[in-house]
Amino acid sequence: MSFSHLFTPHEIRGHEFHNRIFSSAHQTILARNGSPSEDMAAYHEARARGGTGLIIMESSRPYSDDVSASYYIDSSTDACIPGYRMVADAVHKHGCKVFGQINHGGRITYRHEGMYLVAHAPSMVPDHRFHCMPRVMSTGYVWTIIRAFAAAAGRMAEAGLDGAELTASHGMLIAQFLNPQTNFRDDEFGGSVQNRFRIVSEMIAATRATVGSEFIIGMRISAEEMEPDGLDQAAWLDICRRLNDEEELDYLSVTVGSMMGLAGSVHVVPPMTIDHAYTAPLAGAIKRDVRQSVLVTGRINQPQLAEQILALGQADMCGMTRALISDPEMPNKAHAGRLDDIRACIGCNQACIGHYHQGVRISCIQNPISGRELALGTHPPLRKTRKVLVAGGGPGGMKAAAVAAEHGHQVILCEKSARLGGQTLLAQTLPGRAEFGVIVDNLRREMELNGVDIRLNAIADKALIEVEKPDAVIIATGAIPYRPDVDISDETHAVDAWQVLKGEVKPGASVVIADWRCDWVGLGLAEKLARDGSQVRLCVDGEMAGQNLQQYLRWHWAGVLHKLGIEVIAYARLFGADGDTAYFQHTTSGEPIVCENMDTLVIAQGHQPVITLEQDLAGCDVEVHLAGDCLSPRSAEEAVYEGFMVARNI
């Protein structure tokens, strides 16, 4: 494919970007004591080395009242300057530009050391996600925040960054001032449209006065906030037209969503169930009306998509953030025409934003090196080439085989079935989950590139190992459905989740799902069966459906289930079933939960490891390693990470 737009330069305020790919601001949990760290520098350098044209660093807090954790960058003091300089130096040596981002949450705030911070906002309007009742900012306080933003940008300029991005997206403080539903002030920053806009004008002017004429100033906006009290597309178009008069503002970075509520928050990092590049038409509408450069983000995971957006004139640069987390070398590979070699992001959200919500460093379920560049970026020295046999062709086994072969070993992978993928083949059959199957294509390509001997319909048993005589065996044989020891009568039509996903059974008109894991299996089955025409009751052994999923995915799926009329019953532990009735026990009260008039009971009670090969090889003179569900049934992230680590250390 010819990329006639994506790999052409773009210029903003005299700075030339060597291509149109950028990494948008995203939290990494790699800051230390409020400053960019060596880990953060290595993380961003990997993407700069991989060919990215621009990196926008994560949101920083410019004023002390909004600093809630040491892993956020605190740009309110000069202490951040050395860390910023370290990142700038690391990125610049690869010809990549780097910006900082400045943000204040306003009424959207977090806990600090276990306690809620005092939220400050234009007016006393609570949010619907963090449930903060804000304190109204005095006029003097607003001017203090304006000066704080400018001072933070000055520190970034002093550190050698090329620009700073002011955050008006996702319902943050600036957006709260612009919004008549959250700004009821009667001073110079409220009332009329012009007064509500004043904070933007003053902030841009103060920032330019601080940073000088060469430094780039941009603003991130949500073209549609997707919340009942959020700004809609028409309102943002009006704001953008007004921004045309701001001569010192150089670009607009367009996204969608708002953190003021759950529906809008889903779009902060949209999961795989949301269409690719769905924000591009909104950015295109803005681009037609503004003089500034327009950047866009939102489910742009392939260079072909970015090329199409640029060709249509919808933006000047494309944010491909998760694509770069999954494969930092994506730009270089695309430029060289190696499209099949790109490890495409699958939009699972598990280890990127999912890790952030757990307060742990960023990574990727497909690429354990992301976020761990200093620790895992280079292989240990290869002592000698060994023959390695991998048993199992799921994600853990495929990753182990690819990494072991990349390290220099002779690798055979045996998969007992006719297809690679393991449980991924089941996951991709669910509504909105087809993209999850791309992980199989990515891992297969990694194995092919590294010369793995892939054998399908090949059972790796003790006899084969005696014939092949490998130096090491990596067992990644996965898991099978677990059936709990509960009393289910023969008259009950009881089936397990895998049977449904494989199409081996036909559920009836009224289905009860007994979901122990509280993950994608129960939610996905409920949606699938409801769309197939069944009345569904989803009984979950937890606080909520999807409890163990990344929250944006869970919230989106909860909305889908509600629209489909699916009844969700929480705190329900499977007790048994008799005929057309399923019995559950409330997990805290101990009282019975009875589901009558049931045609089919779907048992989704997790998995048990397949340990046959491990047992057969006990006592044999062969080095054995375990990875993934055969060690303990969990998720693809653990399987890939363990396969990577085992192979890395052989």
Q: Give tens-digit pLDDT for 228-242.
A: 999 999 999 999 999
167-171, 248-252, 375-379, 487-491: least confidently modelled range: 375-379
Mean of all residue pLDDT scores within the chain: 97
Mean of pLDDT values over 18-45: 97
**Cβ–Cβ under 8 Å, residues 438 and 361:** no
Alpha-carbon Rg for the chain in angstroms: 26
Whether the pLDDT of residue 381 is over 90: the answer is no
pLDDT of residue 169 exceeding 80, the answer is yes
209 falls in which pLDDT band (50, 70, 90)? very high
Distance separating alpha carbons of residues 106 and 113, to the nearest angstrom: 19
How confident is the model at residue 445, as a pLDDT?
98
CATH class of segment(s) 10-375: alpha beta
Q: Provide the percentage of residues in the chain whose pLDDT is more than 90.
A: 95
Q: Where in the chain is the domain with CATH 3.20.20.70?
A: 10-375
Cα 29 to Cα 394: distance, rounded to the nearest angstrom? 30
- Split at pLDDT 50, 70, 90, the class of 113 is confident
Dump pLDDT digits (tens) for 13-25: 999 999 999 999 9
Length of the chain as a residue count = 650
With a cut of 90, say whether residue 210 has pLDDT above it.
yes
Model confidence pLDDT, tens digit, residues 431-452: 999 999 999 999 999 999 999 9
List CB contacts of 562: < 8 A, sequence separation 6 or more. none
pLDDT bucket at 70, cuts 50 / 70 / 90: confident
Domain spanning 380-481+609-648, CATH architecture: 3-Layer(aba) Sandwich (3.40)
Q: Render pLDDT for 500-531 as a digit per residue (tens, 0 to 9).
A: 999 999 999 999 999 999 999 999 999 999 99
Q: Could you tell me what percent of the chain has a pLDDT over 70?
A: 100
List Cβ neighbours of 56 (8 Å cut-off, separation of 6 or more): 22, 23, 24, 25, 98, 99, 100, 101, 165, 253
Report the pLDDT value the prediction gives residue 284, as an integer from 0 to 100: 98
The answer on pLDDT for 1 being more than 80 is no
DSSP state of 197: H
For 223-379, strand residue ranges (E) read: 251-255, 293-296, 317-319
Cβ–Cβ < 8 Å for 580, 508? no
Burial class (CB in 10 A: 0-12, 13-18, 19+), 169: buried
* Average of per-residue pLDDT across 456-462: 97
Please give the structure tokens belonging to residue 235.
Answer: 């309102």
Instruction: Round to whole Å and give the CA distance between 609 and 590.
Output: 30
Give me the pLDDT at residue 2, please. Answer: 86
Give 475's pLDDT tier (boundaries 50, 70, 90).
very high
pLDDT of residue 261: 95
How far apart (Å, rounded) are the C-alpha atoms in residues 143 and 367?
Answer: 44
CATH 3.50.50.60 maps onto the chain at 487-605
Location of each CATH 3.40.50.720 domain in the chain: 380-481+609-648
Contacts of 266 (CB under 8 A, 6+ apart): 257, 274, 552, 555, 556
Confidence of residue 71 (pLDDT cuts 50, 70, 90): confident
Q: Determine how many CB atoms are found less than 10 A away from the CB of residue 559.
A: 13
pLDDT score recorded for residue 64: 82
The per-residue pLDDT for 273 is 94
pLDDT of residue 67: 72
**What's the mean pLDDT in 366-393?**
94
Q: What is the mean pLDDT of residues 277-305?
A: 98
Q: What is the pLDDT of residue 154?
A: 98
Question: What is d(CA 318, CA 192) in angstroms, rounded to the nearest whole number?
Answer: 34
pLDDT at 646 over 80: yes
Point out the least confidently predicted range of 97-111, 297-311, 393-407, 570-584.
97-111
Q: Rounded CA gap, 453 and 469, in Å?
A: 15
The tokens of 237 are what? Answer: 């178009």
**116 or 93, greater pLDDT:** 93
What is the pLDDT, as a whole number, of residue 69? Answer: 76
Assign domain 487-605 to a CATH class.
alpha beta
pLDDT at 644: 98
Q: What is the mean pLDDT of the segment spanning 75-85?
A: 97
